[in-house]
Structure 1
């Protein structure tokens, strides 16, 4: 165990990264924190923050010293009881995590999801069939939200009626990873009916026989998981695979419309859709941050962090680190191979990442094939969230190719 008396002490900052002002304009303060020091202590919350790509990457992989079991938000489950039941996938560590992840992971690997690709492509084309005659649409309300609610709801096997509850539910989940502030309280009040609906629809009898939810419940048949654990695991899938994907697809449309030269590159080669979506995840970082808790005294880039401390891994700052990326504040659909961190790394890498990438690729490829000019109709409006950077509205014009 390192001797923290002989290493650097993290400088303090009174910044509130969860104020509405900070959430509305995060790039300046994220840049300042990253250049201030490799580790900074946020005095308002008694938490530490890592901002540099190499350090965040190492911490994501080091579950033994940076645990998830004490909560992946600001709240420390070691010192206070969680305000909601913890996620069996996101908020556990080995050996418990190994069991649950090992049970569910095969259901969400590319080979297992390959059969969904035609349905994802068909849904994207069907949506554009409805939107192209309108021309003036909203990339959030008209495109990203209905697309993900349809295809993800179908993939899980949720009933069609009531799926509108999925959006406030997902938004509330990600808001809960920050402090219990006014933004959290407003979101939770709005999400209460949605949470009730989601909990009810995670039961076996509510799910279709051919979806991911039924596949999770099938694990109870041989005792791999219990009947009490199965609905919690289904709920974990809904939390992981919904709001962040909506945010990513809406951001992709905004980025492409705001960068006409990049849009033309994608139009010329729709095969770039996968790389373009990956660049959106880096450039926009829909999931801005996630927390870990130190299990012992640790040293990060020569700076000590005591045991039992909350550590914010600032994914957005790491994804814009000039130590890792050439011209990181530029959006480039042809950028490849630089390891964006928005989907995590290591044993806790986003379990729904393959499906999210398939959805993003399907939408961008369909847009590239069928839309000529893609134009913004105004600046758009941000949707504030303690953990996500998203859009409430992105008005665009779609001119058919």
Structure 2
């Protein structure tokens, strides 16, 4: 009986993904009584059909029609129109490419400083030294939360993404700290705690303007903190791992960093899919691929499997910067696609540009270690050896 959340699959999900794609457009998973989609066509269609496949009943295994969520539902991920619309418009404006231009210079400078610090040693763990360090350096400042307590962000996000899955050992390990972590997150979403210039303050200003309600404002800030760190961390780790194992692609990036840095990040998101799965719930009896999905049943969409579907992608298992990865579903698709994807791309562009100017080659310096999470394709450790431009290590 297939269990997508067992440790064996979380360690290496690719064989299961291939088996699900081969089994058909929709596969019933008896263990959890859910309907799985692993092919690109069906996953893309379900993501964009919010009327037939709702998010408001939760994007995890729990069904909010019958179960009370452990935290306030996200107004971005776990709401549908019309409740979803106003918060989405506000956040899309605050996190859009035009608004982010003002952060570009500072983030590129921060990336250069961080990379120089990491390169003081010829060997380091790329997860802690770069993939975690950079988002934790720039994103909380951009939101405007206090520096005290930021060490809670990753444990909170890890539990939040684990909780989208079943109540297994991964969820159990996070339970003792739920009250502490949730309480801290709630506290830093308050207006009087947030810095006056950051994303959080802009969200509260939108409430003053009547674009959203004052009750919605802290929930929108909370959505940023829930989904804005871990996903970027593991996306950055994925692209660093890709370049360590595909040196010819790193050579290509170094030749055209201004053109290829964002392409590389999106290709890594397609190739590794930091967000592996999301759920939807059928709003009526739905027929997909000859299979009837009953009203109220959960649909488990394998974003990662869709992103390597050979029906959509040529040579899908290759990490290739000549590919146009823009159709990937790693950030979702449709009205619920990731509102912070432009933030993640800017972070990646800054970090990769700083590395391209200084590093001739990456290579793995020891055994890598996965971090298991019910939703995320995560790295625990990436020992890396780097050779600086000019040929010297470190």
Regarding TM over 0.5, the answer is yes
The structural deviation recorded for 1:304 is 1.9
1:54 lines up with 2:75 in the alignment: no
- Of 217, 223, 235, which aligns to 2:222? 235
1:186 lines up with 2:173 in the alignment: yes
- Of 69, 75, 81, which aligns to 2:62? 75
Hey, what does 2:375 align to over in structure 1? Answer: 387
Q: Deviations over 1:315-339 (max 9, x none)?
A: 0000000001111011112211551
How far apart in 1 are the matches of 2:303 and 2:183?
Answer: 31
Hey, what does 2:210 align to over in structure 1? Answer: 223
CA contact (8 A) 1:168 1:191 kept: no
How far apart in 1 are the matches of 2:365 and 2:224?
Answer: 34
User: Higher mean Cα deviation, 329-338 or 369-378?
Assistant: 329-338
Q: Which structure 1 residue ranges, 4+ long, deviate > 4 Å from structure 2?
A: none
SS in structure 1 at match of 2:129: helix
1:107 lines up with 2:87 in the alignment: no
How far apart in 1 are the matches of 2:341 and 2:103?
Answer: 14
How far apart in 1 are the matches of 2:183 and 2:224?
Answer: 16
Q: Deviations over 1:235-286 (max 9, x none)?
A: 1011121100000001111111011111111122213111110100000000
How far apart in 1 are the matches of 2:153 and 2:297?
Answer: 33
Hey, what does 1:146 align to over in structure 2? Answer: 133
The structural deviation recorded for 1:159 is 1.4
Hey, what does 1:263 align to over in structure 2? Answer: 250
| Matched ranges for 1:313-352 at <5 A | 313-337=301-325, 339-352=327-340
- Of 268, 283, 303, which aligns to 2:291? 303
Q: Deviations over 1:149-173 (max 9, x none)?
A: 1110111011122211111111111
Unaligned runs of 5+ in 1: 1-13
User: How much is the aligned-residue C-alpha RMSD, in angstroms?
Assistant: 1.3
Aligned length: 388
1:245 lines up with 2:229 in the alignment: no
How far apart in 2 are the matches of 1:244 and 1:33?
Answer: 24
Q: Deviations over 1:29-64 (max 9, x none)?
A: 111111111100110111001010011111110000
Mark the CA change 1:338 to 1:86 in structure 2 (over 3 Å): closer, same or farther.
closer
How far apart in 2 are the matches of 1:192 and 1:258?
Answer: 40
Hey, what does 1:8 align to over in structure 2? Answer: none
Hey, what does 1:293 align to over in structure 2? Answer: 281
Mark the CA change 1:130 to 1:337 in structure 2 (over 3 Å): closer, same or farther.
closer
How far apart in 2 are the matches of 1:230 and 1:301?
Answer: 40
| Matched ranges for 1:23-34 at <5 A | 23-34=10-21
Mark the CA change 1:338 to 1:90 in structure 2 (over 3 Å): closer, same or farther.
closer
Mark the CA change 1:269 to 1:191 in structure 2 (over 3 Å): closer, same or farther.
farther
1:95 lines up with 2:82 in the alignment: yes
Hey, what does 2:264 align to over in structure 1? Answer: 276
CA contact (8 A) 1:315 1:341 kept: yes
CA contact (8 A) 1:138 1:396 kept: yes
The structural deviation recorded for 1:103 is 2.6
1:127 lines up with 2:114 in the alignment: yes
SS in structure 1 at match of 2:207: coil
How far apart in 1 are the matches of 2:386 and 2:154?
Answer: 25
The structural deviation recorded for 1:228 is 2.5
- Of 353, 363, 366, which aligns to 1:378? 366
SS in structure 2 at match of 1:399: strand
SS in structure 1 at match of 2:124: strand
The structural deviation recorded for 1:104 is 2.4
Q: Deviations over 1:71-116 (max 9, x none)?
A: 0001011122223221111111111111221232211111111111
CA contact (8 A) 2:267 2:325 kept: no
How far apart in 2 are the matches of 1:126 and 1:334?
Answer: 30
How far apart in 1 are the matches of 2:78 and 2:343?
Answer: 21
| Matched ranges for 1:27-42 at <5 A | 27-42=14-29
1:359 lines up with 2:347 in the alignment: yes
SS in structure 2 at match of 1:90: coil
How far apart in 1 are the matches of 2:351 and 2:123?
Answer: 17
